[in-house]
Amino acid sequence: MTPLVNEELATLSDQLTLVAVLLYLVAMICFALDLAFGRIHPASAVKAREPVAVGAGGGGPSSGEPGEAAAAGGAATAEGAPWAAKAGLAGIALTWIGWAAHLAAIVTRGLAVDRWPWGNMYEFVVGLCLAAVTAFLVLLFRHRIRFLGAFVTLAAALGLGFAVLFLHVQAGPLMPALQSYWLAIHVSAAIVASGLFTVAGVSAILYLVRKDRPSVLPTREALDTVVHRAIVIGFPIWTFAVIAGALWADRAWGRYWGWDPKEVWSFITWVVYAAYLHARATAGWKGKAAIIISLVAFACLLFNLIGVNIFFPGLHSYSDIPR
C-alpha cells in the first residue's frame, strides 16, 4: 500500500524553504555591510606581528609611533565604522533564524511522507545547503570566520533557490531501491562532509581572490587555516560515507563495487582530498599550491553531486530531476 502524503506538512516545508532563502539573503546583506565598512586586515599575519624598533633618540623614523607601525608593510589593522560590527552580529542572528527555518523545512518534509528526506536531488541539495550553513555556524564558535558569512549565506540562498526553481518535486514515497536504513547513514554522512567541503571551497576561492595588500578579507594565512581544518574534519566523514555506500551496495545489489559513475566520482573526490592532506602532511605544502589542490577536489565534489546525476545514467540515477 502506497504511503499517504501529508499535503499540509509538505506545503509548510516548501514555505519554510522560501522563508530560509529570504532570511539568508538578508543575513548576506548584513555580512556584506560588515565586510565593506568593517576593519581592514593587514596583508600578512607575519608582518602584523613584526615588532617596531625603538630608536635611541625616540624621534626618528623607528620611534615606534602608531603611524610608523601602520606604514610598516600595511601591518596595522584599521578599524571600520562602529555600526559595521553590529551589522555582522545581526547577520549571525539572522543566519541562526534562517537555519532554524531551514531545519524545520527538512523535518516537515520528512514527516509529510514518514521517511528520511534524502530521497531525490531536490532533498539532497536542500540538506547540503543546511550542512554548509551548520558547518559555518559551528566553526564560528571556535574561529573568527564571520567574514565567511556573506559568502556562505549567499551560496545557501542560491543553492536553495536553484533547488526550488529547477529540482523541486512533490513529496512522495521512496522508490524500492532507497527503502533502507542505509539511506539515513550513507546520505547523511555525505551531506555533512559536503557541507564542510563547501566551507573549505568558499574559503579557498577567497584565498585566491585575496591580494597581498591590506583588505577587508582576513590574511591568506587565516584563510588557509580555515580550508585545512574544514577538510580535516570533513575527510573522515566522507570516507565513512564511501564505505557505508559500499556496504549498502552489497545489501542492495550483491556487490561492494561496480564502477557505477557515482561510485567512481565519489572515489575520485576522496583521492583528491586525500592528496591535499598528504601534500600538507608530508611535503609541507601550504599556500597557493595546496589551495589549488583543494579547489580541484571541490570541483570533483560538485561534479559528483550534481553533474553525475544529470549527465551519466547508472544505478544511482534516481534523483527525480524534473525534465
103 domain-assigned: yes
111 phi and psi angles, rounded to 5 deg: -65, -30
Cell 574559503 -> residue: 203
Q: Which of 22, 51, 76 is the last residue of a domain?
A: 76
> What is residue 323's predicted lDDT score, i.e. its pLDDT?
53
Per-residue pLDDT of the chain (323 residues; tens, 9 = 90+): 445 788 899 999 999 999 999 999 999 999 999 988 877 777 666 554 544 444 444 444 443 333 333 333 334 455 667 788 899 999 999 999 999 999 999 999 999 988 888 888 899 899 999 999 999 999 898 888 898 999 999 999 999 999 999 888 888 787 766 677 888 898 899 999 999 999 999 999 999 998 877 777 888 888 999 999 999 999 999 999 999 988 888 887 778 877 888 889 999 999 999 999 999 888 777 788 999 999 999 999 999 888 787 776 655 555 555 55
> What is residue 84's predicted lDDT score, i.e. its pLDDT?
83
Q: Which of 50, 76, 102 is the last residue of a domain?
A: 76
Q: Indicate left, alpha or beta for 41 from its phi (over 0: left) and psi (-120 to 50: alpha).
A: beta
> What is residue 181's predicted lDDT score, i.e. its pLDDT?
80
Helices (H), ranges, 114-219: 121-142, 149-162, 182, 188-209
- Distance, CA of 273 to CA of 267 (rounded, Å): 10
- Angle between helix 149-162 and 188-209 (nearest 10): 130
240 domain-assigned: yes
Nearest to 77 by CA among 104, 49, 39, 110: 39
Q: What torsion do the CA atoms of 189, 136, 319, 182 make, to the nearest 10 degrees?
A: 10
Quick check: helix, strand or coil at residue 215? Answer: strand
| Whether 104 and 68 share a structural domain | no
| Whether 99 and 226 share a structural domain | yes
322 domain-assigned: no
Nearest to 4 by CA among 172, 169, 177, 176: 172
> What is residue 47's predicted lDDT score, i.e. its pLDDT?
53
Sign of CA dihedral 251, 253, 259, 262: negative
Full-model pTM: 0.82
Are 249 and 258 in contact by the 8 Å Cβ rule? The answer is yes
The number of distinct structural domains making up the chain is 2
> What is residue 164's predicted lDDT score, i.e. its pLDDT?
93
| Whether 69 and 190 share a structural domain | no
> What is residue 42's predicted lDDT score, i.e. its pLDDT?
75
320 domain-assigned: no
260, containing H or E segment:
none
Range of the domain at 19: 7-36+82-311
| Whether 97 and 238 share a structural domain | yes
| Whether 48 and 27 share a structural domain | no
321 domain-assigned: no
* Beta-sheet strands, E only, within the chain: none
| Whether 201 and 68 share a structural domain | no
316 domain-assigned: no
> What is residue 211's predicted lDDT score, i.e. its pLDDT?
81
Q: Tell me the one-letter amino acid at 180.
A: S
323 domain-assigned: no
